[in-house]
Structure 1
Amino acid sequence: MKRSFIVIMSLLLVIALLITGCVPKGGDEVKEPTDTPSTDSSATPPSESKKEAKILRTNNGSEPGSLDPALAQGTHESWVLDHTFEGLMKIDPDLKVVPGMAEEYMISDDSLTYTFTLRDDIKWSNGDSVTAHDFEFAWKRALDPELASDYAHQLYYIKGGEAYNTGEGTVDDVLVKALDDKTLEVTLEAPTAYFLELTAFYTLYPVNKKVVESDPDWAKNASTHVSNGPFTLTEWEHNATIKIRKNENYYDSASVKLDGVDFDIIDDENTTWQKYEGGDYDFLTPLPQAVVAQMKDNNNPELIIGAEVGTYYYNLNSKVKPFNNIKVRRGLSMTLDRQTIVDKIAQGGQIAAEGVVPFGLPDENGKEYRDAVGKLVEYNVEEGKKLFLEGLAEEGMKIEDFKNIVILYNTSEAHKKIAQAAQEMWRVNLGIEIQLENVDFQVKLDREKAGDYHISRAGWIGDYMDPITFIELWESNSSFNDAKYNSPEYDQLVKIAKTSPDPNERFDAMRKAEQIVMEDMPIVPVYFYTQPYAQKSYVTGVYKPLVNYPKLTYADINK
């Protein structure tokens, strides 16, 4: 798209400015080339002051279920939210957790009370001031049991948060309080080393109290959506496109080079790759696996293998026979050839899973957590088949009964190929025939929550840099425990890991918990993620945090 700028000067001054490279910037809204520009009643000749707007074009693989931070639950939502909202803290281009909406913070000597002082110059996209009251309102709203936020547990670290969310306390018991417009005080249940990083996570983003209270449907359409980040939502054609534009009210807008980002919503990776190759996109993730392999072989400079802390796995619904049987679950895990999947199918530098917690997370000594836990999964066809057949017999089932078992996955060529590989491996190694079913991502998420599946493809990207972000998933009351796993011993270890002030005790608890869940095998880990993406040579300034999709906030286009 192009942008016309109105120059309220004489023709000679315009020419002088252009010669020196000083082109005045127009208003907030980016216009199409056919729009008639005006900042006053005078008109500028079409041949003068036209400038191409910097709109980065890409794809968001699925329709967001919600662009309300409290209700979002996946990367198909968070990638947009991370560019339209900002928390008290944020992850900067150096991958450090730094103040965002907060200007500074203080932590009490006992590490239980955090006092945040907000910046003076922060505003919502509608011009309202962002206040500490907005944060208090947003966090208590996310904990409100009536809202039914899947991510409410991320606020359980706040004293009184879990009690309120589970109906055992009241909102007044939640110790987050705006002391004034600029000061937010938060008291935690126990010292939490990663709490500052957690405030950069989207569930803890603020929402505009006045807007939300006046319009319950504020987040469903661009016309009513209000945010506080570097970009603002200007268009949302559901299941088709999302457009965000630079938020001139953002305190650091001078550092934002893009005028906006256009997201298509297309779930077919081959289609999106063709659009990238054809010049319709400037940036693209994810990529078809065959394309990643080819780009790697050709040393294509547009391919970037982004580091990521995440695990790709299959849920086994333990409420449905025969997946209630540990031998069946272990048999399926032991007969899945993970190395072949990463080498021959995924082909993006992924690592065959050794447990549920991926590499890249530090332990209590700042060393690699994974090293001390070791490899907790194995490929052993003979033992796996023995266990599988024993488990089937215990459930009164036969191999033939598996013909009605279905692997559920969200529509994606990559997920399809991996599911086909698992289907074939289990056919060859166990003699079973399993069916495949693909659905829209949000439909998959909804069916998992309802327990309406047998085996489902899943993945988890860490929310912050601590192993508990994975370990807590299979706590019996976790809203993301889609495998319906239940182990009192495991729950107790998770509780210790979340509440102990002793780093050694909490990491020992996490290591023991991971060993238990990998013995019971309610899920089948497949591989540890990377995030390959394609980026045109003229795009700069993109950075990739380990726990986020690529950040486009400070990207630039220089054609």
Structure 2
Amino acid sequence: MLLLAGCFGGEEASKSGDGDSGKKKEENAGPKVLHLNNTEEPGALHPGKAQGTHDSWILEGTFEGLTKKTPEGKIVDGMAKEGWEISEDGKTYTFHLKDDIKWSNGDPVTAGDFEYAWKFALNPNTAADYAYQLYYLEGGEEYNSADIKKLSADELKALEDKVGVKALDDKTLEVKLKEATPYFIDLTSFYTYYPVNKKVQEATPKWYTEADTFVSNGPFKLTEWKHKESLKLEKNENYYDKDKIKLDEVDFAVIDNESTAYQMYQNGELDMVYPLPQDVLPTLDGKKEYHNGPDLSTYYYNLNTKVKPLNNVKVRKAISMAIDRKSIVENVAQGGQQPAYSVVPPGIPEGDNGDYQENGGDLFKEDLKGAKALLEEGLKEEGMDKMPKFSILYNTNEGHKKIAEAVQAMLKENLGIEVQLENVEFQVKLDREKAGEYQMSRAGWVGDYVDPMTFMDLWVTDGAYNDADWSNKEYDQLIKTAKTSMDTETRMKAMHDAEKILMDEMPIVPIYFYTKPYVLKENVKGFFTPINRYPQYIYADIEK
């Protein structure tokens, strides 16, 4: 899981001059402040409401779950003590919380805060997009899917009480799963599984929207939030592992323009920039400040299957087959990305049988002649003589714009399709996708945990992130099989079969598998990059 490990360490205090010179130098050095860029204004800094990296990068520094990830990529104890108990059938987990854990306001973190947070996300009144990640819990899906218009408060409470998470006391959390889930411990490090301070949530329901009411339990606390401009995190002195936190402060500038962010980095205003402008990537190769590696994520386009003629599978496949992915990664993206002819990216082991993506191989191919024939057939079936003009929706970003322009040109040249481009803020794009108000939209997915299911369950019927609004009963059944089996061979075969169906019907168009290119000042140490997370600043240090 480890991609890039920053070197921990620092300079020794100067020994020249009198014996106190090193100490005086350290005292005069001032606080250690790291300057980063967040590409968008956070949509919701609440574990139960967050839904994108513009939220999670902040949450990963301010919150902590039962478990956490180390720089070596291991899942280790977080709020929970080592040695959690797992029943023989793999369905019941018992976690014992550490004794010295507190919220940033001084309240103790309790098992009840975890139970409350998970049930809050599942509550149908919350409308949490990521609630489905808690469907592994016994009764989780039933509670979240309840029709609140038809149920009384008592009936809804009865469903809540059946959800498989319960605080046995302040320090003991019992979790009951619907089925044994081999990657459940990995999930407990994901932000939807973070706790929420119950007292704060009930007293101040909008606590997560402003810095002065924000309460968290992680290494840092949010102390300033100038909306759409900047955020400031400061070291949380109530964090149980505070001695391992070397930074005093992490300042985020909200910048959606990659060139502006990189210019600020060059001017010394930022210590790290990710993502980078695509046109500077070729100039950075070989420089010590440049880092790159694989990423458990896929860049793709949604096709709205409810909009004619994109409801026709032949039209959808024609669009996909007419896009030259190699040209995009080599001439536009330029970050060493791999053209994607499937959905699940490399980096996920298939048990002891190698890499899942490599085993699955390419599931479709580019074919201009075939694309033209399919488009003609599909349009004829829809009673159309030619493809109507449609738009590609993308969130404001130079890189997304250039890729969309490349796709626009390819569809025009190869299929004679006129495509317009429409850019909006990221949150607006997400809202438009949820409402089905688009024809083709840019999307990307970072794996929440290291298993193919983190991608494959996105497109089940009525899935929270099935923005293509696609449905296939056989696909749904295969995903159910993979979710309910503990046999690796059975699970993997089901997901491979499901992925073939997905690519045969093409409700989404994979473009490439991401890499993670970023620049980091050489005096900043301790950054690490889990395969499915943004570069992590939690244990970073700055050499003065």
Q: TM-score range by the shorter chain?
A: over 0.9
Structure 1 partner of 2:21: 19
Of 297, 306, 329, which residue of structure 2 is paired with 1:310? 297
Match 1:325 to one of 312, 337, 341: 312
Listed as ranges, the matches of 1:504-543 within 5 Å are 504-543=489-528
Q: Give the Cα–Cα distance (whole angstroms) in 1 for the partners of residues 364 and 512 of structure 2.
A: 11
Matched, 1:182 2:171: yes
Between the two proteins, the alignment pairs up a number of residues equal to 517
1:65 equivalent to 2:65? Answer no
| Cα distance in 2, alignment partners of residues 453 and 499 from structure 1 | 34
Q: Which residue in the other structure is 1:376 paired with?
A: 363
Change (3 A) 1:101 1:366: farther
In structure 2, distance between residues paired with 1:107 and 1:17: 55
- Counterpart of 1:407 in structure 2 is 392
After TM superposition, give the deviation of residue 502 of structure 1 in Å: 2.0
CA-CA distance at 1:306 after TM superposition: 3.3
* Residues in 2 aligned to 1:381 and 1:345: alpha-carbon distance in whole angstroms: 21
TM-fit CA distance, 1:373: 1.3
More contact order relative to length (CA 8 Å, sep ≥ 6): 2
- Which residue of the partner structure matches residue 344 of structure 1? 331
Any residues of structure 2 matched to 1:78-93 within 5 Å, and which?
78-93=56-71
Deviation at 1:22, TM superposition (A): 7.5
Tell me the residue number matched to 1:280.
Answer: 269
- Which of 252, 258, 263 is residue 252 of structure 2 equivalent to? 263
Q: Distance in 2 between matches of 1:134 and 1:221?
A: 21
The Cα offsets for residues 94-129 of structure 1, whole Å up to 9 and x where unpaired, read as 111111111121111111110001111110000111
Secondary structure class of the residue paired with 1:171: helix
Deviations 1:337-388 (A, max 9, x none): 1111111111111100020100111113352011221201211110011101
Pair 1:446-2:431 in alignment: yes
The amino acid that maps onto 1:54 is K
1:145 — aligned with what? 124
1:247 aligns to what? 236
Which piece of structure 1 moves more, 168-177 or 429-438? 168-177
> CA, structure 1 residues 20+454, in 2 after alignment: closer, same or farther (shift >3 Å)?
closer
Identity across matched positions, percent: 55
Q: Which amino acid aligns with 1:270?
A: S
C-alpha change, 1:50 and 1:282, in structure 2 (3 Å) is same
Question: What is the distance in 2 between the residues matched to 1:147 and 1:434?
Answer: 37
Other structure's SS at 1:190 match:
coil
Aligned AA (1:217): K
Q: Which residue of 2 aligns with 1:546?
A: 531
SS class of match (1:62): coil
Higher alpha-carbon deviation: 520-529 or 306-315: 306-315
Aligned partner of 2:467 in structure 1 is 482
Letter in 1 for 2:134: L
Residue number in structure 2 paired with 1:106: 85
- What SS does the corresponding residue of 2:433 show, helix, strand or coil? helix
1:132 aligns with 2:118: no
Q: Look up the SS of the partner of 1:438 in the other structure.
A: strand
d(CA) in 1 for partners of 2:293, 2:352: 26
Q: Secondary structure at the match of 1:514?
A: helix
Q: Which runs of 4+ in 1 moved over 4 A?
A: none
Structure 2: distance between partners of 1:18 and 1:139 = 52
Give the CA deviation at 1:213: 0.7
1:116 equivalent in alignment to 2:95: yes
Q: How has the CA–CA distance of structure 1 residues 366 and 176 changed in structure 2, closer, same or farther, with 3 Å as cutoff?
A: farther
Question: Counterparts of 1:278 and 1:208 in 2: how far apart (Å)?
Answer: 40
- In the TM superposition, residue 328 of structure 1 has moved relative to its aligned partner by 0.2
What letter matches 1:269 in structure 2? E
* Aligned mates of 1:453, 1:354 — CA distance in 2: 24
Is 1:218 equivalent to 2:196 in the alignment?
no
Instruction: Give the SS at the match of 1:386.
Output: helix
Query: Which position in structure 2 is the counterpart of 1:77?
Result: 55
Structure 1 pair 301–398 and aligned structure 2 pair: CA distance change class (3 A): farther
Q: Secondary structure at the match of 1:311?
A: strand
Q: Counterparts of 2:421 and 2:363 in 1: how far apart (Å)?
A: 27
Q: 1:17 offset after TM fit, Å? A: 8.1
- The amino acid that maps onto 2:192 is T
Alignment partners' CA distance in 2, 1:407 and 1:17: 65
Stretch deviating more after TM superposition (312-321 or 373-382): 373-382
Distance 1:311 1:149 in 2: 23
Q: TM-score, normalised by structure 2?
A: 0.93
Q: Is the 8 A contact 1:226 1:232 kept in 2?
A: yes
Amino acid across the alignment from 1:374: G
